[in-house]
Structure 1
């Protein structure tokens, strides 16, 4: 494993699921940038205390089979990983495996985060493995449709099993080394599934904001965003949600009534949305602003729920209620533009599809095409707005989301329900038969709807779920911060207790 210095200070933030709208994806990129700054500060603090953990990070490659389930297929791809030995109490210390999701991994995945804090406490060897077909773990022709058939969560779990064997041989590990896996969002689901499918390899798993239930029509996402906009604990209100509903109703009426040119000017669009597909792109982009505020609440990106509701309820009383709500939404879009580097709001559906059809790798940093393929073949997760409780535009339908499956990959829309059903049968949906898996969820996180929420008792153990009433997506995965809410601090302490308990129990079993 050749040594690698930090070639680029870019953090793959622990919030992973690639979302439906392009604007929401851009917001996520900004979240990553903010986390980068925090990671830099974390390393500066470590250096000031005399520790240089970066010097202990090594990069490696393992040649994985493209198809673990076909012995005649000898094709391989290079899979990247990082190891941090800074805290490892060799030879019997535990192993903390952070599982990569739908994006590239970086050195910081073994340098910053709550799992790293716990690794230092328990003397653990830190690992992160990049997910196949993401980042640099892909062959040059990997994005071609005929080659994407080797991209699946089942293959990814087999990669983890082979990686476990590789690391065990490289570091001369034995049964005395207890493995704990960690992940958030999609990689959180992988963490839970790895423990479920390979319980002899990983002793316990932390699954943060993990959507373990596949769902074709994920209408609950938008509904939960609406409920979060009403949640007074994070600055929401009924007035806020009412204003959002009114604003979207007026925008939709304007688009359908032919007043598209004025709408395009008001919201700073790059194009006039003359085609229906472009109008839908605009409605999705406006919804993304609220989705981003809820999903990444208080992460220092865009605005928090409290701030966004402040804009949506700050009325002058000079106009009709509906137009006032429309103007507030315009103001919100202006604020977004002022904080982004985008000159205008790109609402071209044709361009969006063209980008998804692009099979070039772009330095291994692409993710949208791969993740879209996984939504078509395994998960769904389509954030629709056809339900009457959705606060946004009913133009965003399941048919609109799923039309890309046959267009991009030749996957019939009619086949999607069966594919989703198979995933839930294979893994157990939101009632998986998993033991020693800790499911952590935030109260305003829309993805909690597809995770394990109910406390379960197995073999006399306490329920292995943690619910943080007033936090968002994967909030528990960051290192401890002075700005953490009281509920979040308590949740992190509970996670630490679970991990410590697992390690203690494992040690007792090995000496029995």
Structure 2
């Protein structure tokens, strides 16, 4: 029996432009162990280079398993892909609900190089040559084989369990690509906000922010960007201090990114002291942002800085240092700051996702282009003009002049881009938020069991989740009937 559509994609506005920030990678601050189904570590030996017929070197790769809901011995196995950050456990989000519904075991493999799953003793550019989505997909395939064989031995059985793969954002793309490249190893996949299309000049990101903001708020956001640029020229030192970024001295453009963090994550859309967009709704205790602050006659840059510090730096845990090229150049392994360097390497070699300003009516600064040079005179600095260069130039300065830059054409040719050859049901959820079908709304901490009550469109999110359950139920049923064999 042939499988029906074997990948679900929850798109914010469209599958192609579901957002994954190429520059901003943060970790949610951990508060209680209830945020995780499990944090117990397990390890497997993983091949460093899956594409060499001679290289058989290995490294230890970390994974997690959650068996509390498992309907032994034949229940399904849900593989939750960890993406471009430290994987500290299996999050207690909507996958816990799905595990209970289907009697599934949940396993999660940490992405190679991230967290504790690194092959070498440093993250030098030379040592990063095995960091790619292609290598990571083979990691998942071998992990699937390893775990299934271990389970069979433990339960004294010989047949495979049905597997289903999950991922959000870049991990969502990995989920879709895994189904594409290894269709015999999974009954289906869910690609939540999966960014399957590598994009060089990602102007659609900014356009979506403006559309979601609405005309009034968009105008205020554009004014804030202009004011930040002006203060950056006239009094750079004081502006950096205002944003708690006094040490970002070498290069001023990462600081400009810090000022634009909320714009990049689609969160600065305010009405009557509430921030609402397709990223959901966040209630401010200080009610001092965008249109509210504008109408109150407050200093927009100071209100903006307050928001950035209290929400993105203190609440979410953004590391300001990761916006400085000097920090990104450091190849020493550090769980707190290495993820940014690792993701930039993937950005600079495979997928780009360079978020740049559209030609007209932009919210973000046009000074952060893929490759442009701007000269700024800082009267108070009493020093020579400096160059404001970004994206491709960052790639070369951080990883070396020999790095040619991301080959997005090759990436899209390999995976199919927006024309990925996997039958799929695309479920659109307007005003739902990035990955909100699996983890609730991203403006709040991870809510146990993925409760959608804090979303701006809880009914829409719940409707998507009902569709997800329907499709998974159908695909698992057919997959069990067909019988997926081991590798």
* TM-score category of the 2 structures, normalised to the smaller one: 0.7 to 0.9
Residue 310 and residue 495 in structure 1: after superposition, are their counterparts in 2 closer, same or farther (change >3 A)?
farther
Aligned residue for 1:216, secondary structure, equals: strand
Which position in structure 2 is the counterpart of 1:491?
Answer: 464
Which position in structure 2 is the counterpart of 1:444?
Answer: none
CA contact (8 A) 1:94 1:125 kept: yes
Tell me the distance in 2 between the aligned counterparts of 1:167 and 1:240.
Answer: 50
Which position in structure 2 is the counterpart of 1:270?
Answer: 246
Which position in structure 2 is the counterpart of 1:501?
Answer: 474
Question: Is the aligned partner of 1:379 residue 2:351?
Answer: yes
Q: What is the number of residues matched between the two proteins?
A: 424
Residue 181 and residue 229 in structure 1: after superposition, are their counterparts in 2 closer, same or farther (change >3 A)?
same
Which position in structure 2 is the counterpart of 1:401?
Answer: 391
Tell me the distance in 2 between the aligned counterparts of 1:77 and 1:359.
Answer: 18
Unaligned 5+ residue runs, structure 1?
Answer: 1-15, 44-52, 231-237, 319-323, 438-463
Tell me the distance in 2 between the aligned counterparts of 1:408 and 1:228.
Answer: 34
Residue 428 and residue 71 in structure 1: after superposition, are their counterparts in 2 closer, same or farther (change >3 A)?
same
Aligned residue for 2:61, secondary structure, equals: strand
Tell me the distance in 2 between the aligned counterparts of 1:308 and 1:477.
Answer: 29
Output one character per residue of 1:216-263: Cα deviation in whole Å (capped at 9) or x when no partner.
Answer: 211211221222212xxxxxxx1111111123223324544x454665
Question: Is the aligned partner of 1:216 residue 2:177?
Answer: no
Residue 360 and residue 302 in structure 1: after superposition, are their counterparts in 2 closer, same or farther (change >3 A)?
farther
Tell me the distance in 2 between the aligned counterparts of 1:385 and 1:240.
Answer: 17
Residue 243 and residue 116 in structure 1: after superposition, are their counterparts in 2 closer, same or farther (change >3 A)?
same
Residue 262 and residue 166 in structure 1: after superposition, are their counterparts in 2 closer, same or farther (change >3 A)?
closer
Which position in structure 2 is the counterpart of 1:97?
Answer: 79
Tell me the distance in 2 between the aligned counterparts of 1:302 and 1:95.
Answer: 31
Tell me the distance in 2 between the aligned counterparts of 1:405 and 1:210.
Answer: 24
Question: Is the aligned partner of 1:416 residue 2:392?
Answer: no
Residue 314 and residue 169 in structure 1: after superposition, are their counterparts in 2 closer, same or farther (change >3 A)?
closer
Which position in structure 1 is the counterpart of 2:376?
Answer: none
Question: Is the aligned partner of 1:108 residue 2:90?
Answer: yes
Which position in structure 2 is the counterpart of 1:428?
Answer: 416
CA contact (8 A) 1:270 1:347 kept: no
CA contact (8 A) 2:356 2:364 kept: no
CA contact (8 A) 2:120 2:127 kept: no
How far is the alpha carbon of 1:332 from its aligned partner?
A: 2.2
Question: Is the aligned partner of 1:204 residue 2:182?
Answer: no
Tell me the distance in 2 between the aligned counterparts of 1:264 and 1:194.
Answer: 43
Tell me the distance in 1 between the aligned counterparts of 2:144 and 2:295.
Answer: 63
Tell me the distance in 1 between the aligned counterparts of 2:465 and 2:85.
Answer: 25
Which position in structure 2 is the counterpart of 1:473?
Answer: 434
How far is the alpha carbon of 1:336 from its aligned partner?
A: 3.1
Computed over aligned residues only, the root mean square deviation of the Cα atoms, in angstroms, reads 3.5
Tell me the distance in 2 between the aligned counterparts of 1:466 and 1:115.
Answer: 18
CA contact (8 A) 2:21 2:265 kept: no
Tell me the distance in 1 between the aligned counterparts of 2:328 and 2:173.
Answer: 25
- Give the structure with the larger helix fraction: 1
CA contact (8 A) 1:64 1:79 kept: yes
Which position in structure 2 is the counterpart of 1:8?
Answer: none
Question: Is the aligned partner of 1:124 residue 2:112?
Answer: no
How far is the alpha carbon of 1:156 from its aligned partner?
A: 0.7
Which position in structure 1 is the counterpart of 2:29?
Answer: 33
Tell me the distance in 2 between the aligned counterparts of 1:295 and 1:161.
Answer: 40
Output one character per residue of 1:460-489: Cα deviation in whole Å (capped at 9) or x when no partner.
Answer: xxxx01111111111111234143411111
CA contact (8 A) 2:80 2:107 kept: yes
Question: Is the aligned partner of 1:313 residue 2:291?
Answer: yes
CA contact (8 A) 2:289 2:307 kept: no
Tell me the distance in 1 between the aligned counterparts of 2:268 and 2:83.
Answer: 17
Question: Is the aligned partner of 1:247 residue 2:224?
Answer: yes
CA contact (8 A) 2:85 2:339 kept: yes
Tell me the distance in 1 between the aligned counterparts of 2:111 and 2:370.
Answer: 28
How far is the alpha carbon of 1:67 from its aligned partner?
A: 0.6
Residue 125 and residue 174 in structure 1: after superposition, are their counterparts in 2 closer, same or farther (change >3 A)?
farther
CA contact (8 A) 1:269 1:346 kept: no
Which position in structure 1 is the counterpart of 2:165?
Answer: 181
Larger RCO (CA within 8 A; separation ≥ 6): 2
Residue 288 and residue 432 in structure 1: after superposition, are their counterparts in 2 closer, same or farther (change >3 A)?
same
Tell me the distance in 2 between the aligned counterparts of 1:76 and 1:401.
Answer: 33
Tell me the distance in 2 between the aligned counterparts of 1:272 and 1:156.
Answer: 33
Which position in structure 2 is the counterpart of 1:155?
Answer: 135
Aligned residue for 2:52, secondary structure, equals: coil
Residue 309 and residue 486 in structure 1: after superposition, are their counterparts in 2 closer, same or farther (change >3 A)?
farther
Which position in structure 2 is the counterpart of 1:454?
Answer: none
CA contact (8 A) 2:49 2:57 kept: yes
How far is the alpha carbon of 1:356 from its aligned partner?
A: 1.1
How far is the alpha carbon of 1:287 from its aligned partner?
A: 1.4
- Give the structure with the larger strand fraction: 2
Q: Is 264-273 or 370-379 further displaced after alignment? A: 264-273
